[in-house]
Amino acid sequence: MTVSAAEAMLSGLARDASSGPIRLPTKGHHHHAGGEAAVVQALITWAQSIRHPALQTYVPNAEDPDGQMTTLTRQFFGIAAALLCDRASAVDGAVISEALRAQALARLDVIQSERPREASRGPQYEVLCVDHLDRAAPRLLYDLDLEGQPSLKGTSAFIEVARQIDRTIVPRELSSSIPPSFTDAVGGALYELFRNTEDHARVDERGDRLGRSIRGVQARRHAIPQAKLAEFVGTSPPLAAYCARLRPPRATNKDLQLIEISVIDSGPGFAAAITKRPLAELTPVEEADAVRRCFQKHATGKTTSRSGLGLPNVVDILREHGGFMRLRTGRQSLYADLSLERRTPYGTLPEFVTWPSERETFPRASGTLLTILLPLVVEP
């Protein structure tokens, strides 16, 4: 579950999206920062690239004697694949689509309840919208009017989500010392990022409803011993440089503690949304300029009265708390180390840098993935 693995998958899809069923492991390993969410974005790209996406699992047969379907769907990438595919097969060739979908929907019921933490596994927390199955309004994030129409809740609801994340993924000995301002900041960032998916990621470039659409939030705590730091950052010099400046939250705690929050959608991407032009009509330079414009004050692709301050607010929060951001949208893969921009005035564009790659260009990815990293802060 690494960014490089996701990029390899996207490159394979760019060469040939119809090369047969995609094969996924039952359990993900080596969870580098933002890696699992990056794999989910690659899965969304796969599912939107072909008419009937097919999944090949390592479930031995339809009887599933080892409970591998449950194991698979208890992971973010697994539940996403199960809800995106048309067909799923066991190792012996048996079709397990209905059984796998049923397992995924059962977990989705809990994820979309008022207590999604009950579906969490270890230091991880997820909230998921599955728009194409009309499962688009988790109770924590949406209100329903008298006619059953959902509307996104306000910032206070997302601060409550941040508190649930804290209680779910942070050890009690650290959680009790987290200042409220930190939790409020995480909630504010969550609200702005998720509101962006509501405003810009429910339809495709033509304004039509997406045939397959997942939007979601994944939060994870990374406890990183110094001896494991190289493994955590993988082959990413930007992450290595960022983590090298971090310190454990307490002198008695030898591990670095990072909160990772990834917000993902399946929409047309930042550039197409703000320019109102299909990505294919934009040159790479035009696309890069459009993506950066999304982070300007009052930049918006909507014609509503929204202020357009969402992404600048997120950047400001990350600057204040020494955060890191990775953005993957369209053909752009960028990062900004905002711990180096603490004194930068509000509204200033972040110093985006292209994510290191052996490729000259990046293959197109569906939707937008924004992963932020924040060092865990505790009071003395």
Question: 328-352 pLDDT, tens per residue?
Answer: 999 999 999 999 998 898 888 999 9
- In this prediction, residues 205-220 reach a mean pLDDT of 92
Residues 130, 344: Cα–Cα separation, whole Å:
38
Query: Could you identify the residue written with the tokens 């993506």?
Result: 291
Q: Is the pLDDT of residue 359 over 50?
A: yes
Q: Is the pLDDT of residue 220 over 80?
A: yes
Residues 380, 378: Cα–Cα separation, whole Å:
6
Question: Residue 53 corresponds to which tokens in the numbers above?
Answer: 């996406």
Q: Is the pLDDT of residue 306 over 60?
A: no
- In this prediction, residues 57-69 reach a mean pLDDT of 93
Q: Is the pLDDT of residue 134 over 90?
A: yes
- Residue ranges of domains in the chain: 113-375
Task: Check if the beta carbon of residue 258 is closer than 8 Å to that of residue 375.
Answer: yes
- pLDDT bracket for residue 124 (50, 70, 90): confident
Q: What is the mean pLDDT of the chain?
A: 88
Task: Check if the beta carbon of residue 57 is closer than 8 Å to that of residue 91.
Answer: yes
Query: Could you identify the residue written with the tokens 């990815």?
Result: 365
Task: Check if the beta carbon of residue 367 is closer than 8 Å to that of residue 201.
Answer: yes
Which of 229, 228, 252 is closest to 239 using CA atoms?
229
List helix spans (H) across the chain.
3-15, 35-49, 68-73, 76-84, 97-111, 155-169, 172-175, 180-200, 229-233, 237-244, 270-275, 284-293, 310-320
- In this prediction, residues 306-320 reach a mean pLDDT of 76
Output the pTM of the full model.
0.92
Other CB atoms within a 10 A radius of the CB of residue 120 amount to 20
Q: Is the pLDDT of residue 14 over 60?
A: yes
Question: 222-239 pLDDT, tens per residue?
Answer: 888 877 777 777 677 888
CA trace torsion 216, 62, 71, 117 (10° rounding): 50
Which of 221, 158, 157 is closest to 186 using CA atoms?
158
- pLDDT bracket for residue 267 (50, 70, 90): very high
The pLDDT, as a whole number, for residue 250 is: 62
Q: What is the largest CA-CA distance in the chain?
A: 60
Task: Check if the beta carbon of residue 268 is closer than 8 Å to that of residue 294.
Answer: no
Query: Could you identify the residue written with the tokens 């409020």?
Result: 184
Question: 237-258 pLDDT, tens per residue?
Answer: 888 888 888 877 665 567 888 8
Query: Could you identify the residue written with the tokens 């004194």?
Result: 343
Tell me the backbone φ, ψ of residue 152, rounded to 5 degrees. Answer: -65, 135
The pLDDT, as a whole number, for residue 298 is: 60
Q: Is the pLDDT of residue 289 over 70?
A: yes
The pLDDT, as a whole number, for residue 131 is: 95
Q: Is the pLDDT of residue 76 over 80?
A: yes
- Residues β-bridged to residue 143: 151
Question: 147-194 pLDDT, tens per residue?
Answer: 889 999 999 999 999 999 888 888 887 777 788 888 898 899 899 889
Which of 373, 318, 329, 378 is closest to 351 using CA atoms?
318
- In this prediction, residues 253-270 reach a mean pLDDT of 89
